[in-house]
Amino acid sequence: MIVTVWVDDILIFVTTIDLRDKTIADIEAEWEVTNIGKPTKIVRIEITTTPDSITISSRQYIESILRKEGMDSSNSVSTPLDPNVALVPNPEGENGSRSNSFARLLGELQYIANATCPDITYAVNRLASYTANPSLQHNIAVKRILRYLAGT
């Protein structure tokens, strides 16, 4: 059995229906609960179940980020980072601010990488080392991750 808790939402993953029913009964014996049945979305993760599989996705969240960044009609790319571009520190050497749009976007991408898209993890973590002082090169690279997600 796996029980996940997010604030006041609980997901229960069990191997048998009897175990599910007993677990729900045990929880209901202690707390007032509302059972809404099979989950379809939790913490921006969409859940699709079939008799043979469970699929998770962040499609709606990714689409909302693409719209917010004005990239909902952008051309897709096949990789999250361009292998021909060597990322280097900002050559202007200015002291940047961690409260910038680059940092916000990287945070959103880090959540997506952790939740449903591990294929962008390396690219997001590589760019995170430039968060304090991003250059135009780093902003282009983070937009490339968005273009990659638009295609996947």
Q: 36: which 2 tokens?
A: 């809404």
- For the chain, which residues make up each domain, given as ranges? 2-57, 73-151
Of 4-13, 21-30, 40-49, 75-84, least confident by mean pLDDT is 4-13
Q: Give CA–CA dist 47/56, Å, rounded.
A: 5
Please give the pLDDT value at position 98. Answer: 55
pLDDT tens digits along 88-136: 998 776 665 555 889 999 999 999 999 999 999 999 999 999 998 899 9
Residue pair 71/150 in contact (Cβ under 8 Å)? The answer is yes
Q: Give CA–CA dist 142/103, Å, rounded.
A: 10
pLDDT at 7 over 80: yes
What's the pTM value of the predicted model, to 2 decimals? 0.81
Q: How far is CA 66 from the centre of its chain?
A: 13
3-state secondary structure the chain: CEEEEECCEEEEECCCHHHHHHHHHHHHHHCCCCCCCCCCEECCEEEEECCCCEEEECHHHHHHHHHHCCCCCCCCCCCCCCCCCCCCCCCCCCCCCCCCHHHHHHHHHHHHHHHCCHHHHHHHHHHHCCCCCCCHHHHHHHHHHHHHHHHC
